Amino acid sequence: MTKMFTLEDCTLEDIQNFCGPGESHLRLLEEEFGVELSLRGDTLTLSQENDQLEDVCRHLLKMLKRHVNLSAKDVLYAVSLARAGELDQMDSLYATHIARTYSGKLITPKTVGQRDYYNAMKKNDVVFAIGPAGTGKTYLAVVFAVQALKNGEVKRIILTRPAVEAGESLGFLPGDLKEKIDPYLRPLYDALYDMLGSDKTERLVEKGVIEIAPLAYMRGRTLDDAYVILDEAQNTTDNQMKMFLTRLGFNSKMIVTGDITQIDLHPGQTSGLKRALSLLKGVKGIRFVFLSAVDVVRHPVVARIIRRYDEADKKRQEESE
């Protein structure tokens, strides 16, 4: 039995946004629910009744009312929340305003995991964000740090990551130290440029208000009045992680981000992130936030790739036990 669904109080622009480029959002919903959709004017016709699909459509329309420009990721995320019985949580995401970029674009959490990550950063002195690439771990940490700097909560931002990538050695790379380490720190620069613009970022770096350096440069220091971010922490050794965490000074916060499925250390070396996870859970003032493929905000196929690898890794682990 067909079902009619009215896109109430929607402008032509809203309807186009709801349908997506070339009605791609409607095709995604058809694929996910196995229901044919057709639109005439402001009336959406379902080839058969489907309460879950209708709920998804209503929530997507709510997002339009919040002036959210819907993407394929938003559509698929609404579907995943509906299947988990948590679709109501989507309303809170776009009600949370984190910051605005240099160009004025409003930054809001894209997933429930990102919302929980943002709340953890507000309430804790040390936060570990663990999850796959594309979940916004580094970007949101930098956004939060810049906001703290703008609000006068800290006097400087320190961004660092271990110079270990896919087995490469800095000693074999061309150029001076800055030229060698810049490629490793590029994701941090990109997030800063998005928040502050390139000119202001460079000025603050020159003044030392923003410091971007390899992890080895943290040794022997006490970091007061600072927002400190350690990126790619899965590539720290146990000793490096301990060294970093014990740099925390007064009126400072630390964010540690990493993906424990992408460790590039030499065989036999223990990841400092894994060790910290086993040792520090439950310690007052420290919060662990776990993001997953559901929180990936890149192309939808990225989440599917991550899930397939996770399934294969889980199966391989079970077979080896």
Q: Is the pLDDT of residue 172 over 50?
A: no
> pLDDT value at position 298?
64
Q: Strand locations in the chain, DSSP E? A: 3-6, 37-40, 43-46, 99-100, 106-107, 126-130, 156-161, 210-214, 226-230, 253-258, 286-290
Residue (of 5, 254, 238, 279) closest to 126 by Cα position: 254
Structural domain boundaries in the chain: 3-93, 109-320
Q: Which residues contact 120 (CB under 8 A, 6 or more apart)?
A: 127, 287, 289
Q: Which residue has the higher pLDDT, 239 or 316?
A: 239
Q: Is the separation of the CB atoms in 142 and 150 below 8 Å?
A: no
Q: Reply yes or no on whether the pLDDT at 169 is more than 60.
A: no
Tell if the pTM clears 0.85, that is, is over it.
Answer: no
The pLDDT of residue 283: 93
DSSP 156-213: EEEEEE-S-BTTB-GGGSSS-HHHHHHHHHHHHHHHHHHHH-HHHHHHHHHHTSEEEE
Percent of the chain past pLDDT 70, that is, above it, reads: 92
More confident residue, 207 or 311: 207
The CATH code that applies to domain 109-320 is 3.40.50.300
- The values of phi and psi at residue 70, to 5°, are -65, 140
Q: What is the mean pLDDT of residues 59-88?
A: 86
Structure token pair of residue 194: 């998005």
**CATH tag, 3-93:** 3.30.1370.10
Amino acid identity for residue 30 in this structure: E
Mean pLDDT, rounded, of the chain = 86
The token duo for 115 is 């919302």
pLDDT (tens digit per residue) in 176-229: 555 555 666 777 888 899 999 999 999 999 999 999 888 888 888 989 999 999
What pLDDT was estimated at residue 90? 83
pLDDT tens column, 271-294 = 999 999 999 988 999 999 999 878
Q: What is the model's pLDDT at position 167?
A: 42
Query: What is the percentage of the chain residues whose pLDDT exceeds 90?
Result: 45
Q: How far is Cα 178 from Cα 213, in angstroms, rounded to an integer? A: 9
Mean pLDDT of 246-263: 93
pLDDT band at 97 (very low <50, low <70, confident <90, very high): confident
